[in-house]
């Protein structure tokens, strides 16, 4: 099962740098779509019209979705 959320994305390069600074997976802001993995969590992204759709594709069974979203929210909200 996957879950997805959409966030505003005014500056893709700044968000990619912020993700890297907090130890997250490398995101390529020049690509409209992609996947990245870190710590057993695999996310995909789709950038379109100033927004980014993040989908959790895979996570360790013991880690709740809320914990993953908490980390994503801290970077993208």
Containing H/E element for 8? strand 3-8
Q: What is the pLDDT of residues 39-65, one digit of tens each?
A: 899 999 998 888 989 999 999 999 999
The burial of 34, by beta-carbon neighbours within 10 Å (0-12 exposed, 13-18 middle, 19 or more buried), is given as: middle
Report pTM: 0.82
Average pLDDT value over all residues in the chain: 87
76: helix, coil or strand? helix
């Amino acid at each position: 099962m996957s879950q997805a959320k959409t966030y505003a994305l005014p500056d893709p390069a700044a968000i990619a740098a912020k993700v890297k600074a907090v130890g997250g997976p490398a995101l390529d802001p020049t690509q409209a779509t992609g996947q990245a993995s870190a710590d057993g969590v695999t996310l995909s992204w789709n950038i379109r019209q100033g927004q980014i759709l993040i989908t959790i594709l895979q996570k360790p069974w013991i880690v709740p979705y809320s914990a993953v979203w908490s980390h994503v929210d801290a970077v993208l909200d």
